[in-house]
Amino acid sequence: MEHREMKPDCVRPIKVRYPEDPVEAVVEADALDAALHVDAVLVRGPLFGVVAQDVGEAPRWRVVIPVQDGCPQLSRDGLNSLLWFRAKDEAKDAAERRALLAAVTRLENERVDELTVLGTRYRVVRAEEYTGLGRDGIEQPRPTDPEPAVPNWDRGARDARVDDGLVLDPEAPVTPAQAAERLALRGLDYTGERFPKDVRKDSRKALTTHPDVMLLPPVFRIVERDGQGWKVGGGPHASAHDARKSLDFALTWFEPRRRGLIPWGADDREVDARSVAAQGTDPAAEELAEYAQAADRLRSEQRVNQLEAGGTVYRICRARRLLRWGPDGPEGPRPSDAESQPPAQIHPLLDEDGNVHYDHEVDED
pTM above 0.85, yes or no: yes
Cα distances (Å, whole numbers) of residue 143 to 19, 81, 177, 244, 314 = 17, 37, 16, 15, 19
**Position 270 in a domain:** yes
Cβ proximity of 60 and 169 under 8 Å: yes
Task: Note the pLDDT tens digit of each residue in 106-162.
Answer: 999 999 999 999 999 999 999 999 999 988 889 999 999 999 888 899 988 888 899
Secondary structure (DSSP) of 170-238: TTS-B-HHHHHHHHHHTT----STTS-HHHHHHHHHHHHHS-EEEEEEEEEEEEEESSS-EEE-S--BS
Closest CA to 24 of 180, 141, 177: 177
Which pLDDT belongs to residue 2? 39
Task: Note the pLDDT tens digit of each residue in 50-74.
Answer: 999 999 999 999 999 999 999 999 9
**Position 182 in a domain:** yes
Cβ proximity of 288 and 273 under 8 Å: yes
Which pLDDT belongs to residue 234? 85
Question: Average pLDDT, stretch 81-94?
Answer: 96
**Position 304 in a domain:** yes
**Position 238 in a domain:** yes
Cβ proximity of 42 and 131 under 8 Å: yes
> What is the extent of the structural domain holding 225?
3-337
**Position 64 in a domain:** yes
Percent of the chain scoring above 70 in pLDDT? 96
**Position 353 in a domain:** no
The yes-or-no verdict on residue 5 having pLDDT over 50 is no
Which amino acid, 58?
A
**Position 56 in a domain:** yes
Task: Note the pLDDT tens digit of each residue in 182-211.
Answer: 999 999 999 888 899 999 999 999 999 999
Alpha helices (H) along the chain: 22-36, 72-89, 94-109, 176-185, 197-209, 240-249, 255-258, 273-279, 285-300, 359-364
Cβ proximity of 256 and 272 under 8 Å: yes
Task: Note the pLDDT tens digit of each residue in 12-51.
Answer: 899 999 998 999 999 999 999 999 888 888 899 999 999 9
Question: Average pLDDT, stretch 224-250?
Answer: 91
Task: Note the pLDDT tens digit of each residue in 352-363.
Answer: 999 999 875 555
Which pLDDT belongs to residue 4? 44
Cα–Cα distance measured from residue 299 to residue 303, given in angstroms and rounded to the nearest whole number: 9
283 CB burial (10 A radius; 0-12, 13-18, 19+): exposed
Query: Would you say the C-alpha torsion 233, 234, 240, 242 has a positive or negative sign?
Result: negative
Structural domain count of the chain: 1
Range of lowest pLDDT (99-108, 152-161, 178-187, 243-252): 152-161
Secondary structure (DSSP) of 27-66: HHHHHHHHHHT--EEEEEEEEEEEEEE-TT-TT-EEEEEE
Give the helix/strand (H/E) hosting 113.
none
